[in-house]
Amino acid sequence: MRGKVWEHQYKLRWPRLQKFYRQNECCDWLKEYKTRHRVGIQIRGTVETISKRFFTEVPCVGQVLGDSFAEIESLGMPEHFCEDELLFILNTDKRKSLTLKYYARKILYFLRQQNILRSLKTFLEQPEEQQAALQGAVLVDQYCNPLADVTLEGITAHLRCAQGNCFTIEDTELQRQVLWALNSVLYEQLQFKGNEFDYYNPLNSYIHQVLLRHTGIPISLSVLYMTLARMLGVHLEPVNFPNHFLLRWCQRPRGSEDIYDFIYIDAFGKGKQLTAKECEYLIGHQVTADYYSAISTTEVLLRMVGNLLNIGKGDSLDLYLTINPDNVQYLLLQARLYFHLGIWPEKVLDILQHIQALDPSQHGAVGYLVQHTLEHIQHKKHPVAPDEKRRSCPEHLEVQYSVGLIMKHKRSGYNCVIYGWDPKCTMSQEWITTMRVQQLSKGANQPSIMFWYRMAHAATLHKKTWNPTLSHLKLVTLRWDAIFLSLLKLIMLPMKNYRRGIQKTQQKLWAKYTNFTTDSPWTLHIKKTSGVRQLQTNPTTCSRPLNR
């Protein structure tokens, strides 16, 4: 009877955890309750410390989250307990404790990505014949969208296909009829099509978005087409054709490798069936027979993630190196990226040592990065203490908000974080006049806040030093994207195929950087030399702090 009471209390308080228990499962519910309660206290305590860490000598949110992740792992608690507490923080009273919610979301994002990378490694360790392209595509989707509700079970349920062995149709003519029927249903009835007008949108590579929007790029549509054909008894193989991913179907007995024994299917072109010669018209030049060969699931995933990297999806770099950890070009790209952002110096050294072991000819580039990274590590050992201002001082009594608070603008809706403030406006008289500071209640004597603006958008300027700033957020900031794209252009070799996409992405980023405006009651000034935005606020219009 006692166990029934604790089971009821457990499931009543944490209903999301019910799916982890089988019906009528024998369990010590009191012990489970205590464990979950203890994990909740420890997770909340970890999240609450992150805001303070951003004001100390910590160069990157990724490093803070990495340390927090290590702390959470050291608890030795079930992962689903940790995730459930983070979700509880996010979903409880959405108008309060927004600073806590902001960092809980970051930790949840980070934790899920690390878990997905482990799942991907397990997937790649399986025998090649057991590696389903759909499962790999779902893992890529989950990594790039860790907060979305994307599961393999949900995708297969949407496709109404069972996981496991499928039957095979032996008759060639019957296989041909199945493919025609698949084309009719997929492209005519369901209106799936290639996204020609927004080809370089990352959503085209995510399988759940392909199913939702009924559009994609050749490789994502090919994975979908190949999965459905396999479910219907037709075996198709992926072909890593240059510039245009294809599938191939053998019209002759199985085992043939003659390229003219195959029909090549263009899933992007509504399932059009092509001969080997007709495939060349897709790219406008002849290719060797090697380009018509079938490739493994691992190679499919590499091309899929490579597409994301080449359109500026910089957080896919870890994903690529999980699939292919010995790619010197991408290892060097990762090391340079971390180096230029001023983050993970210890990890940079490990990467550089790995590069040197793989390719000694990279000694020049590696030596330069090693030297400057060691200087950075030495600088970290002797940090400069921050100049702390205390609200208890007489000149600071009117300051309303503390350092580290996440703020949200009432009208514009963008987020920022306070990292400093002055007892009064210290801008030039010309700026004060232009921004009409005198019209505020206390004029230039009103405390002014220094903050990092639009943390989750690409309109952030940054200090060009090793000093800690929130500008090092690993999500979508202009500096991350701009540095990633510029480095990608410099050191990657096969870039001709994606130049149009990169140029288009760079133009979009530059437009965001140069054309943003502030139509808010806050007055904004950018010091171009330091990257600091200094804000003169009006207490009557400033939004509430996101955490009290």
> Is the sign of the CA dihedral 155, 161, 167, 170 positive or negative?
negative
Measured between alpha carbons, how far is 277 from 245 in angstroms, rounded to an integer?
16
Least Cα distance to 468 among 53, 138, 30, 99 occurs for 53
pLDDT of residue 526: 30
Angle at 420 between CA 418 and CA 422, to 5 degrees: 125
As a whole number, the mean pLDDT across the chain is 76
Task: Give yes or no for residue 365 having a pLDDT over 50.
Answer: yes
Give the H or E element holding residue 18. none
Which among 209-218, 243-252, 456-465 has the top mean pLDDT? 209-218
Rounded to two decimals, the pTM is 0.72
**Of the ranges 74-88, 228-242, 257-271, 514-528, which one carries the lowest mean pLDDT score?**
514-528
Q: What is the pLDDT of residues 41-98, one digit of tens each?
A: 988 888 888 777 665 544 455 555 656 666 666 666 788 888 899 999 998 887 788 8
If DSSP codes are grouped into helix, strand and coil, which group holds residue 130? helix
The residues spanned by each domain of the chain are: 2-124, 132-302, 326-381, 394-536
Q: What pLDDT, on a 0 to 100 scale, did the predictor assign at position 450?
A: 56
On the question of pLDDT at 513 being above 50, the answer is: no
Instruction: Tell me the CA distances in angstroms from 504 to 144, 163, 482, 515, one per residue in order.
Output: 21, 39, 13, 16
Phi, psi of 168 (to 5 degrees): -130, 135
| CB-based contact 7:27 (threshold 8 Å) | yes
pLDDT digits (tens, 9 = 90+) for 174-233: 999 999 999 999 999 999 999 999 999 999 999 999 999 999 999 999 999 999 999 999
Whether residue 492 is predicted with pLDDT greater than 60 in this model: the reply is: no
Three-class DSSP category at 4: helix
Give the pLDDT band (50/70/90) at residue 282: confident
Residue 475 has pLDDT above 70, yes or no: no
pLDDT tens-place string over residues 161-178: 655 556 788 888 999 999
